[in-house]
Amino acid sequence: MMKRRVVVTGMGAVSPYGVGVAPLWQGLRAGRSAIAPLRHPEAARVRMKVAAQLPEGIDLASMLSESMLPLLDRCSQFVVIASNEAVRQSGLDVRANGDRIGAIIGTGIGGVTSHDEQSKRLYGEGAERMHPLTIVRTMVNAPASHVSMAHGLRGPVFSVSSACASANHAVAQAMAAIRSGAADVMLTGGTEACLTFGLLKAWDAMRVIADDTCRPFSANRRGLVLGEGAAVFVLEEMEHAKARGATILAELAGAGMSADAGDIVAPSADGAALAITRALQDAELQASDIDYINAHGTGTMANDATETRAIHLALGAHAQSIPVTSTKSMHGHALGAAGALELAATIAALDDQFVPPTANYEQVDPACDLDIVPNVGRPAKIRAALSNSFAFGGLNAVLAVRQA
């Protein structure tokens, strides 16, 4: 039986560049970092000094229905808004086809904003009662459920949580649902709103946070910078999309997943390489077909050197001729949403035939001996590309996209 091919017909985003894929791509293409001084009421009590946050003045509430708003944690607000954009771009009447459409959304932490707020009331202020909607705001499946309800989707709907690989795992599972025939269309992606006081203090304690900015693959990198946001994609079976005359943005050609089965935080080159290799095999691509890699590239000493080794292991001699960038240098590390923002950037690069840069790059690191595109992007012929996500827990997910 011929494998059902899966294409992308819509994208939406909420990011530190604002609402929409267009401002996200314009910022990344220009090499303009959205990392700025941390804006938080408790900023003076954390060591973290910078973050990639939504621009000030964005009124998310105005983009959501009044009846839905009380039920939504910030991470659910992000994903519903992003899903609205993706559905609009797809041109698909999702409500008329809801029985054959589902939603799989990745999030590393879920409704932690609501959890933090209610914990402060309970433990810090001695409140006797918590908000009656606390459970439905904080449950990890809430973002997927709200996307389903917002668009009338009655197909497979659930959440995926695998730390920083959550979005890529969600996209891979959505692709599998279409390939299997369980659905014809899936909304998928990732969302995260992780800049709460409790999590800022927790990340401080890990001592992997940069105190100035994010410099992936640069010899003087000092750690990661947290971000927030969401991106959502409309995935569609190719013949279904063609039959309705949809504009196809890219083909989601394959996915590769693996587990290191090693350390809970230290990355493994072998585990990451296995996910890359499996993505190529699933997409029926050769190493020489890959013209761009959007790297996981967190900006920590261990991650970037390990990812470099993994790329060499999986792609062999061709590795050094592939342009590699980490867009986390600009939109920050949005944990469970990171892969979604990066997939949006990868598809935009494919469409624009332009490789975005790794911002803030200053010094060559011999341990990162790849074609790291420093500070200024470049035009390039991109036939196929990879987007890497490697998570705490040793969980790896790599997506392969190509021109349709």
Instruction: Kindly list the catalytic residues.
Output: 164, 296, 333
What would the 3-class secondary structure string for the chain be?
CCCCCEEEEEEEEEECCEECHHHHHHHHHCCCCCCEECCCCCHHHCCCCEEECCCCCCCHHHHCCCCCHHHCCHHHHHHHHHHHHHHHHHCCCCHHHHHHEEEEEECCCCCHHHHHHHHHHHHHCCCCCCCCCHHHHHCCCHHHHHHHHHHCCCCCEEEECECECHHHHHHHHHHHHHHHCCCCEEEEEEEECCCCHHHHHHHHHHCCECCCCCCCCECCCCCECEECEEEEEEEEEHHHHHHCCCCCCEEEEEEEEEECCCCCCCCCHHHHHHHHHHHHHHHCCCHHHEEEEECCCCCCHHHHHHHHHHHHHHHHHHHHHCEEECCHHHHCECHHHHHHHHHHHHHHHHHHCEECCECCCCCECHHHCCEECECCCEECCCCEEEEEEEECCCEEEEEEEECC
